[in-house]
Structure formats: structure tokens, C-alpha cells
Structure 1
Amino acid sequence: MQNLIFVGPMGAGKSTIGRLLAKELRMPFKDSDKEIELRSGANVPWIFDKEGEIGFRNREQAMIAELCGCNGVVLATGGGAVIRDENRRTLYIGGRVVYLRASVEQQVGRTYRDYSRPLLHTIDPARTMRDLLVQRDPLYREIADLVVETDERPLRIVVCDILERLQQLPPR
């Protein structure tokens, strides 16, 4: 069975929706950031602090390569996973890619109490999210088989929408 891979900005619902879809499809769920934390014994903010963003991105690239080499998993990636060309190639080859979109307002609402997101440790997290979205939106779209809006939509509706649209995709 082919992998199902979620990309998109932080707070778009990749992990939450990914878990629900994995349950619906009876597939294992993996979150690349959580897998990095499990393997390293350190959380993402600590890795960013000690190794910098480059150190984290190196770990992320290795983890994405490993997880995309699996067969039949639902994978949620970190928001910045697409910034490296190699990751985009690996993700696209690794399965069907779903880009979950959310407005900056939704992202802020979903992440404002989450202190585990190092890129939001700024004076103006909303501006940071807007800037990241401008940079990353074309990269998400480049590899996406589906683009799905998550704003103001119940999770169950989003899951059903993805399942229906996946069935309509032509083989690649």
C-alpha cells in the first residue's frame, strides 16, 4: 500500500488529521518530528538550541528518507520539511502528498500555547507564520497531489474530503 504524506505549515492539522486518517485506513501513523525526538532522546527545541536549524534539518532529512522508505504509513512532516530539494524529491516519490492549508489566523489560534515550536519564539509569531507561508507555499504546492483547506472545517469533514479526493486521483 502506498504511503500518505502530509505537508503544510505548523498548525494546519497534519498530525491530528494524519492520525484520524491512519485510523480510518488502518495504517500506522508516524510524525517525523516525534520520531526524531524518540530516536535522539531530545525534543525539537533542544535540538534547535544545541545544533541550530541546520543540525535539526539534517536529522529531519535522514528521518524523512527512512519513513518514506516504509510501505503503507501515514506520515505527518514538520512545516519546514519542504525547504530542502532532497526532501521534496523524497516526499513526492515516497507516496501521495496532501498539502493541508490553514490561514495564519488559524495557525496562530492552534499554536499560541505550544512552546515546542522554535520558529515561533519571536515577538510577532503571526508575522513569522506569514513570512514562512510566503516562502513555503510554492514548495508545498510543487509536490502536492491534493491541496486541502482546513480552516473552519470539522475534522471529520476534512478526513472524508481527503478520502474521497484520493480515490479520484489518477495513478502517477
Structure 2
Amino acid sequence: MNSASNLVLVGPMGAGKSCIGRALAERFSLRLVDVDHEIELRTGATISTIFECEGEAGFRARERSMLAELLADDGIVLSTGGGAVIDPDNRRQLRERGFVVHLHVSVERQIERLASDRSRPLLARGDREQVLHALAAEREPLYAQVADLRFDTNHYTATEVASRLAQELLQSDWQPQAPARVDTGLQRAHSKEPS
């Protein structure tokens, strides 16, 4: 049983983590925090620019530090980037400090949802479908490793997923709790889709 007060959303880009997270945060009166958005706020640079200047390794170091800081809080809905599960220490922290929901989406649906999105650095590397299949092969086992609950988003809108998922969460081991700490000044996430 995972009794952590934080609700953490993991999954690939295009799964709807940010939109679904926003709806769940409102439903449970919790604060939504988007890891990628917080990194952009702190650095003053977009994720694409960080990848361009520091490479993926530089971005992952920033992501690891940000996750540790955010997961020290209580009573939040945390939307992670698609690759947050790559790092073993991130996976440990996610399991210890959150009730983790894996929002699953097929590569076919990702291609549809991300068709006009040009902001994702990992999709700028050649054939999008091939890249998404490679990422899925690498990351799906890691999502499964950290997840307390898996929810398929393929055939639902973000609103429908949030409603159905909220019902499942209320019947699960996780119980929403109001934040125990005073707001640390972190900003509410924008409406961008997750990376």
C-alpha cells in the first residue's frame, strides 16, 4: 500500500499528463506542479533551448534536482516529463514520495496528438514514429516499475480520463490530502502538454 500524499503522473509525451493533472488537482483541491514548466521558470529557458545548449545529460541533471525538490513537498499533483523514469534515483523517489499513476498511450495516438507539436527536442531527431517506438521500448518497463496504477488514455479526452481516473483513485490505496506545507512560491503549470 502506498500512502504518499502526492499524486504523481508519469507516462510518455502526448499521454495528457499536464491536462489530466490540472483536472485532478482541481478535483482534489491540490496544487499542480509540472516539472518541465518549473525547470523553464527557474532557468528562464525553454526545454528545447536547454537540450540545445546542455544536451540531454544537462537537462536530465536539472530534472533530477527539480524532482527531488518538488517531491519534498506534500499534497501536490506532480506532472513529470516523459523521461523522468530513466534515472534510477528518480524512480526511487517517485515510488517513495508519491502514488504514481502511469498514463499509457499508444504510439499511434501519440503521433496523432503530437502531429503539430514542434517543441519537443526528442522528436526533432528524424522519423517521429521510429523515435516514439524506441522511447516506448525503453521507457514502458520503467513506467511499470514505478506505477501504483496504470490508466490507458488512448480512447478518452483529457476530461474523460480525469473523471474516470479520479473515481479509480478514490477506490485505490491513495487518499488526497491538503498540502501540509505553506506554498513555496512555485507557480501553477501552464496548459502545455507534457514532454
The size of the alignment, in residue pairs, is 171
| TM-score, length basis structure 2 | 0.84
1:111 corresponds to which residue? 114
Match of 1:30 among 20, 33, 39: 33
Q: Percent identity?
A: 47
Q: Partner amino acid for 2:15?
A: A
Larger RCO (alpha carbons 8 Å, 6+ apart): 2
Q: Following the alignment from structure 2 to structure 1, what is the Cα–Cα distance between the partners of residues 148 and 13? A: 19
SS of aligned partner of 2:12: coil
5+ long unaligned stretches in structure 2: 175-195
Q: Superposed, which structure 2 residues align to 1:130-149 within 5 Å?
A: 130-149=133-152
The answer to whether structure 1 residue 62 and structure 2 residue 65 are counterparts is yes
Distance in 1 of aligned mates of 2:67 and 2:101: 15
Pairwise mapping of residues 26-105 of structure 1 onto structure 2 (< 5 A)? 26-105=29-108
Asked if residue 9 in structure 1 is aligned to residue 12 in structure 2, the reply is yes
For structure 1, which segment, 152-161 or 63-72, has the greater mean C-alpha deviation from structure 2 after superposition? 152-161
Aligned match of 2:170: 167
Aligned Cα root-mean-square deviation (Å): 1.3
Question: Of the candidates 157, 169, 176, which is equivalent to residue 154 of structure 1?
Answer: 157
Question: Structure 1 residue 148: deviation in Å?
Answer: 0.3
Name 1:19's counterpart in structure 2: 22
Runs of 4+ more than 6 Å apart: none
SS at match of 1:147: strand
TM-score by length of 1: 0.95
* 1:28-49 alpha-carbon deviations (Å, 9 max, x no partner): 1111000000000000011011
Unaligned ranges ≥5, structure 1 = none
Partner-residue secondary structure (3-state), 1:169: coil
